[in-house]
């Protein structure tokens, strides 16, 4: 490949001059456990002083440029010298090595893309560049594209974009820069707003050690500043610190120095006098007194990303923006010395040259397309024989008659209209039906309208012609022409000499009037005495009675008709406003405005009928106006503290749609279950017992009195193995009542005493007591089947255990749901405590999901079935839940409600760690000695210190000072009222492909994963909480993610746990 002459030694970017006074260097600042040598703004100081920035227009040349490098450089220098905001694209391509580019030093924002390619310079001082908006993209993909900047041993070695913090739209391409080393070490996710944007970068190299992870170059002062990925989850954009209180305003782009809209580095939308706002003050604001939109005296216009009081001289105002030209459907006008775009009434004005010049004598097939969309003809129009029938000498073919439709847009001719030939297929001049004026500035003396020797014409059809400023009329030798006799030409001539001009009219040798009258070629009866241009009520010069859209009518639709009307002065029928309610037997409106209605079809805002109440329109001082309709259909202002208007219509329609859908579902369900109802009714009747109301088909329903049923082993069918534990196995199965074929899905837990000390041939009081327990948050026991191995039948949970759900849905769990589960488990355990039932095996695996938002405790009381006397059981190291057991239970086999509290704390830790195994790196035999030393599980990543302290209270050595389940339920109920305050979703940090090192929280010695020392080191503050990176949760991470988990060192015994 040919060596490109592109030697960019480095791109040097120095800190912005306006920002240096509010930036302080923070060495080794710890952000969420990562150390960064970065800069953070000082809170509360304004990031910039507002001043009118200097704008310049960018380019769209791509890789093309002038052949002369010096001329190309001079063009760039003239375009960008002292420029601050580039409107368009910044393209630096094919430049020589020795040019001075210091004129680029003030650029801080580019609205399009930045292209740096195939250059030879050594430095490019874009020191203040902060934001690339990407309104246009290079190759429709890239907002920043840097490529082919090398030659031999020279080339681009580092990116110095140390203050580039925001790319709003588009991706990044940095490729084929042979000597570039640092582009891959940039956290582009912190800069690029669009998470789906392409990032295409090749090559890499090491950063300075102080930069830790991300840098723009090899030096210590080229570390990347992170303003998005280090933010607290409560921040929905950029931040200036790691606290939830350090969020930038949502209108900020690139970062900020404080929480206000005046503290932004740059604006996401527009800058209004130093404050970032969604839009500039609008030209029209809502007047509460007049109920109308009125001109805003403080209106400003958007120019790029800045609000300006006046658009630049070469721009025009379109709505609330400065544009270089008006869109196709608007025309440029000047009002009050302001050039602005206004909607065209139909087609926008277009002036075209007429005919009559030596090289353009007549309208013909060679030039007729030049009249497309013309509204004004500058000059005259001539229709001669050689134009209509073709000119064989000049090889011009005959004119297609349908192409004459181009003249239907012509409203004015400044010269004359001369028709000496016309297609035989056409019997009138209706293609000029919108022609209103013939100026006659140049005459065919003394005539300005000539129609001669056209035998095909039966009428003129000039229905809109109302004005001939100069000249007379010549209409002659049209043997079939009628209606011209009726025209009152005196009303069409407008100058004081019109009587004289009328005398010069030459109308002769056309079809006699008597013959026209005899053949019925006369004006419509609705026409006045002024005459007509042809047959029908639409050809009248004026109307005898009324007119509607240029057509004469007998009367207006004032009292009837699909569209109600009112009569204007002059007999013109005009439609009432669309919001007027049609009236029967009386007028619907008094005029054409929305305030002239007799009654409103929808709503009324003051005197005006409206389709909807004002919702968020700008009012005085930029205040948004919201109104709602009252019972009478009148718009009333919302309370001053409301930030959004009501959506009653949407709510009503949504409710109605929901009711219809629910009704359809209910009917379908009734039809579906009707066949099953007859069979189930017989089964239920057979199993009803005296004084009881048991519903085995729907075990989730609560009856008036709950008892477990005694089942025979033959009634149970075991299916798939769901799991196994300390006390036995659990199968998915079916209960088939004896003598029936109905299958009821259930879970069957088989209890076996492997020690041989206990059999289950008889029903005990404890079994019946377990069957009597009924609470929303415990699994209901449906039946008991005694025998050599006891079988407990419970309702089947289709969603499985809480532990399985946590591991499979870690990324979809929100703080509200986790805290609600904590409350439900605590309430279920409190119910068991009230009924003197010790669980002895509480863990996330023994909590089942009844629904996504409701859990139920299972396996309670099983140990008491096995060992009712000594409260001890034989265990193996693989199945005994030592890691969930309290220390007194492990050492002394003492099980109480307070030992269940310990297990509850571990269960909560499992939930907050998304199903991680406690003490994962520890052997079960080592756990007791670890607990005796004061070690406890580490603080989960998502927990605040308040939640973690509740867990620590559950793990106190002294069981008497552990909280009760009632206290735990109350505490988590309080937290569940404000979940984001107590649980923070995990923070995902973008990292390149490096190995994350994990450390302990003590003296630097490594400790096993999953727990932390409870004994403070000498000199530690008993209230101090230190954060360091620890181990990642293996069950939560994908290969591309790096999620930090904190370990916490707490002064043992000295922290207030309430």
Q: Where are the alpha helices (DSSP H) in 43-184?
A: 69-80
| Euclidean distance between CA atoms 430 and 612, whole angstroms | 43
Q: pLDDT tens for residues 128-175?
A: 899 999 999 999 999 999 988 877 777 777 777 888 999 999 999 988
pLDDT of residue 664: 86
Rg (CA), the chain: 44
726 assigned ligand-binding residue: yes
Q: Specify the range with the lowest mean pLDDT, choosing from 106-115, 201-210, 330-339, 760-769.
A: 760-769
SS3 at position 339: strand
To the nearest whole percent, how much of the chain has pLDDT over 70? 79
Of 370-379, 741-750, 951-960, 1046-1055, the one with minimum mean pLDDT is 1046-1055
Distance CA 871, CA 465 (A): 111
H-run or E-run covering 117: strand 114-117
The band of 704, judged by pLDDT with boundaries at 50, 70 and 90, is: very low
pLDDT at 790 over 60: yes
Per the annotation, does 724 bind a ligand? yes
As given in the structure block, the two tokens for residue 81 are: 């010298």
Q: Is the peptide bond before 446 cis (omega within 30 degrees of 0)?
A: yes
Instruction: Decide if 915 contacts 806 (C-beta within 8 A).
Output: yes
DSSP secondary structure letter of residue 563: S
Q: Where is mean pLDDT largest: 475-479, 775-779, 1054-1058?
A: 475-479
Is 377 a residue whose pLDDT tops 90?
A: yes
Residue 603 has pLDDT above 50, yes or no: yes
β-bridge partners, 1012:
936
Judged against a pLDDT cut of 80, whether residue 611 lies above it is answered with: yes
pLDDT at res. 97: 77
φ and ψ at 447, to 5 degrees? -105, 150
Q: Is pLDDT above 70 for 578?
A: yes
- pLDDT digit string (tens) for 450-504? 999 999 999 999 999 999 999 999 999 999 999 999 999 999 998 778 888 888 8
pLDDT at residue 325 greater than cutoff 60:
yes
Q: 729 labelled as ligand-binding?
A: yes
**245 annotated as ligand-binding:** no
Region at 260 (left for phi over 0; alpha for psi -120 to 50; beta for the rest)? beta
In this structure, what DSSP letter does residue 983 have? Answer: B
Phi, psi of 23 (to 5 degrees): -115, 130
With a cut of 60, say whether residue 337 has pLDDT above it: yes
Q: Which helix (H) or strand (E) holds 294?
A: strand 292-295
The band of 26, judged by pLDDT with boundaries at 50, 70 and 90, is: very low
pLDDT at 751: 80
* Cβ contacts of 102 within 8 Å, gap of 6 or more: 125
406: pLDDT confidence band, cut at 50, 70 and 90? very high
What average pLDDT does the segment 378-396 reach?
A: 93
Q: Which of 205-219, 250-264, 272-286, 1021-1035 has the lowest mean pLDDT?
A: 1021-1035
Backbone angles phi, psi at 745, to 5 degrees: -70, 130
**Does residue 1027 have a pLDDT over 70?**
no
In the chain, count of helices (H) and strands (E)?
17, 57
Closest CA to 421 of 395, 467, 452: 452
Q: Tokens 């929480």, residue? A: 259
Q: What separation in angstroms does the CA of 1051 have from each of 362, 600, 906, 1014, 1026?
A: 102, 73, 20, 7, 11
For the cut 50, the answer to whether the pLDDT of residue 1021 exceeds it is: no
Q: What is the mean pLDDT of residues 865-873?
A: 48
Q: What is the pLDDT of residue 396?
A: 93
Q: What is the pLDDT of residue 70?
A: 87
What separation in angstroms does the CA of 794 have from each of 698, 877, 980?
Answer: 11, 28, 36
pLDDT above 50 for 434 = yes
Average pLDDT of the chain to the nearest whole number = 80
Q: Which of 978, 825, 836 is nearest to 905 (CA)?
A: 825
- Alpha helix positions (H), 999-1054: none
988 CB burial (10 A radius; 0-12, 13-18, 19+)? middle
- State yes or no: pLDDT of 995 exceeds 70: no
725 is in an annotated binding site: yes
Query: Which residue in this structure is represented by tokens 């020392």?
Result: 1013
The helix/strand/coil state of 89 is strand
Q: For residue 811, how far is the Cα from the chain centroid? A: 21
Give the mean pLDDT of 658-664. Answer: 86
Active site residues: 841
Cα–Cα distance for residue pair 995/350, rounded to 1 Å: 68
Least confident of 77-91, 860-874, 913-927: 860-874
The SS3 assignment for 340 reads strand
pLDDT classification of 1024: cutoffs 50, 70, 90: very low
Q: What is the pLDDT of residue 879?
A: 55
Query: Using an 8 Å Cβ cutoff, are 79 and 57 in contact?
Result: yes
Of 347, 514, 538, 525, give the one whose Cα is nearest residue 428. Answer: 538
**Alpha-carbon span 589 to 610, nearest angstrom:** 14
* Beta carbons within 8 Å of 122's beta carbon, 6+ residues apart: 7, 8, 9, 10, 97, 154
Q: pLDDT tier at 205 (50, 70, 90 boundaries)? A: low
Q: Tell me if 389 is assigned to a ligand binding site.
A: no
pLDDT at 69: 83
Q: 727 a known binding residue? A: yes
DSSP one-letter string for 716-783: EEEEEEEEE-SSEEEEEEEE--TT----EEEEEEEE--TTS---BSS--HHHHHHHH---TTBPPEEE
Task: Answer yes or no: is 730 a known binding residue.
Answer: yes
> Is the pLDDT higher at 1043 or at 273?
273
Residue 214 — pLDDT band, cuts 50, 70, 90?
confident
Does 175 appear as a known binding residue? no
DSSP label at residue 59: B
885-891: Cβ within 8 A, 24+ apart: 886/959, 887/928, 887/931, 887/932, 887/957, 888/959, 889/840, 890/927, 890/928, 890/931, 891/928
The residue with greater pLDDT, 732 or 370, is: 370
Task: Confirm or deny that 973 is annotated as ligand binding.
Answer: no
Tokens representing residue 38 in the block: 């970065």
Burial code (b: 16+ CB inside 10 Å, e: under 16) for 918-951 equals: bbbebebeebeeebeeebbbbbbbbbeeebbbbb
Tokens of 274: 């130093």
Predicted local confidence at residue 1014, as pLDDT:
37
């Amino acid at each position: 490949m040919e060596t490109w002459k592109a030697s960019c030694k480095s791109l040097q970017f120095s800190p912005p001059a306006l920002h240096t006074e509010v930036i302080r260097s923070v060495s080794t600042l710890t952000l969420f456990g990562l150390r960064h040598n970065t800069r953070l703004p000082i809170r509360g100081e304004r990031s910039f002083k507002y001043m009118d920035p200097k704008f310049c227009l960018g380019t769209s040349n791509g890789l093309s440029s002038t052949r002369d490098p010096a001329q190309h450089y001079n063009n760039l220098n003239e375009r960008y010298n002292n420029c601050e905001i580039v409107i368009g694209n910044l393209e630096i391509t094919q430049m020589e090595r020795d040019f001075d580019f210091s004129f680029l030093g003030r650029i801080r924002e580019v609205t399009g893309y930045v292209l740096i390619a195939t250059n030879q310079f050594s430095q490019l001082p874009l020191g203040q560049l902060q934001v690339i908006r990407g309104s246009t993209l290079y190759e429709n993909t890239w907002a920043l594209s840097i490529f082919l900047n090398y030659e031999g041993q020279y080339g681009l070695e580092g990116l110095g974009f140390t203050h580039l913090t925001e790319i709003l739209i588009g991706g990044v391409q940095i490729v084929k820069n042979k000597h570039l080393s640092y582009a891959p070490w940039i956290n582009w996710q912190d800069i690029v707003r669009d998470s789906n944007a392409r990032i295409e970068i090749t090559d890499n190299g090491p950063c300075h050690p102080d930069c830790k992870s991300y840098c723009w170059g090899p030096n210590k002062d080229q570390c990347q500043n992170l303003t998005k990925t280090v933010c607290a989850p409560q921040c929905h954009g950029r931040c200036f610190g790691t606290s939830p209180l350090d969020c930038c305003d949502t209108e900020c782009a690139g970062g900020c120095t404080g929480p206000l809209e005046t503290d932004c580095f740059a604006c996401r939308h527009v800058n209004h006098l130093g404050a970032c706002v969604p839009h500039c003050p609008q030209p029209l604001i809502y007047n509460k007194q007049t109920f109308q939109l009125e001109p805003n005296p403080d209106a400003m216009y958007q120019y790029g990303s800045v609000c300006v009081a006046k658009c630049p001289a070469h721009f025009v105002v379109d709505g609330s923006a400065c544009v270089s030209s008006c869109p196709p459907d608007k025309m440029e006008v000047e009002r009050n010395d302001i050039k602005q775009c206004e909607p065209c009434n139909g087609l926008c004005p277009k002036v075209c040259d007429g005919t009559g010049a030596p090289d353009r004598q007549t309208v013909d097939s060679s030039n007729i397309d030049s009249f497309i969309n013309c509204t004004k003809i500058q000059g005259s129009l001539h229709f001669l024989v050689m134009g209509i029938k073709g000119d064989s000498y000049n090889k011009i073919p005959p004119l297609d008659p349908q192409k004459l439709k181009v003249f239907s847009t012509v409203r004015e001719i400044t010269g004359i209209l001369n028709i000496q030939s016309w297609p035989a297929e056409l019997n009138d001049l209706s293609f000029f039906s919108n022609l209103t004026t013939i100026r006659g500035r140049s005459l065919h003396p003394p005539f300005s309208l000539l129609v001669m020797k056209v035998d095909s014409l039966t009428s003129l059809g000039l229905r809109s012609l109302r004005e001939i400023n100069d000249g007379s009329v010549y209409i002659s030798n049209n043997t079939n022409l009628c209606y011209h006799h009726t025209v009152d030409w005196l009303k069409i001539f407008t100058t004081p000499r019109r009587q004289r001009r009328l005398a010069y009219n030459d109308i002769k040798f056309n079809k006699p009037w008597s013959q026209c009258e005899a053949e019925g070629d006369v004006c419509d009866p609705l026409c006045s005495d002024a005459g007509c241009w042809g047959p029908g009520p639409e050809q009248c010069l004026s109307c005898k009675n009324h007119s509607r859209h240029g057509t004469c009518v007998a009367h207006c639709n004032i009292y009837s008709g699909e569209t109600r009307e009112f009569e204007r002065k002059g007999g013109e029928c005009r439609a009432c406003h669309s919001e007027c309610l049609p009236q029967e037997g009386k007028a619907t409106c008094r005029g054409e405005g929305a305030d002239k209605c007799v009654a409103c079809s929808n709503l009324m805002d003051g005197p005006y009928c409206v389709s909807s109440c004002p919702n968020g329109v700008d009012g005085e001082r930029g205040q948004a106006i919201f109104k709602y309709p009252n019972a009478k259909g009148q718009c009333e202002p919302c309370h001053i503290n409301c930030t959004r208007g009501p959506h009653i219509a949407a709510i009503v329609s949504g409710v109605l749609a929901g009711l219809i859908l629910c009704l359809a579902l209910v009917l379908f369900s009734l039809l579906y279950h009707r066949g099953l109802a007859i069979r189930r009714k017989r089964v239920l009747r057979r199993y009803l017992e005296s004084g009881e109301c048991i519903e085995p088909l729907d075990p989730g329903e609560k009856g008036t009195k709950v008892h477990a049923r005694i089942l025979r082993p033959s009634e149970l069918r075991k299916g798939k193995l769901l799991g196994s534990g300390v006390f036995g196995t659990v199968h998915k199965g079916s209960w088939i009542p004896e003598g029936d074929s109905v299958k009821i899905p259930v879970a069957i837990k088989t209890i076996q005493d492997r020690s041989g000390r206990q059999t289950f041939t008889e029903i005990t009081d404890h079994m019946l007591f377990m069957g009597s327990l009924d609470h929303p948050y415990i699994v209901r026991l449906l039946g008991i089947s005694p025998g050599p191995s006891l079988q407990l039948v419970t309702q089947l949970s289709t969603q499985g255990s809480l532990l399985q759900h946590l591991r499979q849905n870690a990324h979809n769990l929100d703080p509200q749901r986790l805290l609600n589960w904590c409350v439900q488990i605590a309430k279920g355990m409190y119910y068991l405590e009230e009924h003197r039932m010790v669980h002895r095996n509480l863990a996330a695996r023994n909590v089942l999901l009844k629904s996504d938002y409701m859990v139920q405790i299972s396996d309670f009381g099983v140990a008491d079935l096995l060992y009712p006397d000594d409260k001890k059981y034989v265990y193996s190291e693989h199945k005994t839940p030592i890691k969930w057991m309290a220390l007194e239970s492990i050492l002394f086999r003492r099980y109480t409600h307070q030992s269940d509290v310990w297990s509850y704390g571990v269960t909560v830790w499992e939930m907050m760690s998304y199903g991680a195994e406690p003490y994962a790196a520890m052997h079960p035999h080592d756990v007791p000695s670890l607990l005796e030393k004061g070690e406890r599980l580490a603080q989960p990543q998502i927990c605040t210190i308040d939640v973690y302290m509740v867990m620590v209270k559950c793990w106190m050595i002294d069981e008497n000072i552990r909280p009760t389940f009632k206290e735990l339920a109350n505490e988590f109920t309080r937290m569940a009222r404000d979940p984001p305050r107590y649980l923070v979703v995990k923070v995902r940090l973008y990292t390149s492909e490096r190995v994350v090192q994990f450390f302990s929280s003590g003296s630097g010695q490594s400790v096993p994963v999953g727990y932390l020392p409870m004994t403070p080191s000498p000199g530690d503050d008993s209230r101090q909480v230190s954060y360091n990176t620890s181990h990642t949760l293996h069950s939560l991470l994908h290969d591309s993610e790096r999620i930090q988990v904190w370990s916490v060192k707490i002064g043992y015994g000295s922290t207030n746990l309430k």
